[in-house]
Structure 1
Amino acid sequence: MRAHLPAAALLVLLAGCAGTPSTDGPIDGATADVAVGEELYQANCAQCHGADLRGTDQGPPHLDAVYLPNHHADISFLFAVRNGVQPHHWSFGPMPPIDGVSDDDVTDIVAYVRAQQQAAGLLD
């Protein structure tokens, strides 16, 4: 059983670095609310990723090409919240799982992040 743990960890890592753009919209077809996503982002993500999504000394910026849908599909945000993330693009420590943030919350957060990426000229 333990032999499968490295393979499972690799699968989560690869899912977080998917090279295929996310084309099916919000996670699991849920309806996203950008305004709610902003509130949730500020409450759960901003401490490390910055209130302006430009990162802090504790976490990387979401306004970066690494976090665009062609590299980190929407579902990778859900995996990060559920499972945490080991560092693989940045020299920050690992991100722990985030308790109390539902799948629907992540859908709203991703909608907010994508809206900010678009406003910053990173998305078409």
Structure 2
Amino acid sequence: MIKTVLTVGALAVAGFGAWMILAPGSKSPDQVSTDKGAPLAVVTVPDRLSPEATMGKKAFETVCVDCHGDNGSGRNGMGPPLVHKIYEPSHHGDESFQRAVALGVRAHHWRFGDMAPVDGFTRADVKTIITYLRELQRANGIH
């Protein structure tokens, strides 16, 4: 009985690890660069962004890109990809992004360290960034 439970547990952990690596917006293990700052996800950018998402892209590129990479692709050793299943709306709602910017956030899904609060953004600014990220997520099969 204990052996069965351990086997099932090991399979569950392995399955979760594979899901994390191969989830939409992620690179396969043979595509991930070990270079610091390298992108962690391949992100498909939609042909058009809404006007609000276009403003959000510009705001994202002022600060967020430094850690979260171009188009939210993440940066190895620096910050997680935001175009990733972990950040889908049903798991990380819009308010979680608002709170992360305003208050910072403790590392809990990734090993990049804590995120400090980000100065200079209003809630309206962050809303445009969220719109941008959600449009990228949808373009990458993350709903």
Which residue does 2:117 correspond to in 1? Answer: 97
Give yes or no for the alignment of 1:53 onto 2:95. no
Unaligned runs of 5+ in 1: 1-31
Runs of 4+ more than 2 Å apart: none
> Is the counterpart of residue 79 in structure 1 residue 99 in structure 2?
yes
Structure 1 counterpart of 2:134: 114
Measured in 1, the distance between the counterparts of 2:130 and 2:83 equals 12
Counterpart Cα distance in 1 of 2:113 and 2:142: 26
The unaligned stretches of length 5 or more in structure 2 are 1-50
Between Structure 1 and Structure 2, how many residues are aligned? 92
Query: Which letter does structure 2 place at the counterpart of 1:43?
Result: T
Q: 1:36 aligns with which of 41, 44, 55?
A: 55
Q: Which has the larger radius of gyration?
A: 2
RCO comparison, higher one (Cα < 8 Å, 6+): 1
Paired with 1:44 and 1:104, the residues of 2 have a C-alpha distance of: 16
Q: Distance in 1 between matches of 2:135 and 2:113?
A: 27
> Normalising to structure 1: TM-score of the pair?
0.71
What TM-score do the two structures reach when normalised by structure 2? 0.62
Q: Which amino acid aligns with 1:76?
A: S
Over the aligned positions, Cα root-mean-square deviation in angstroms equals 1.1
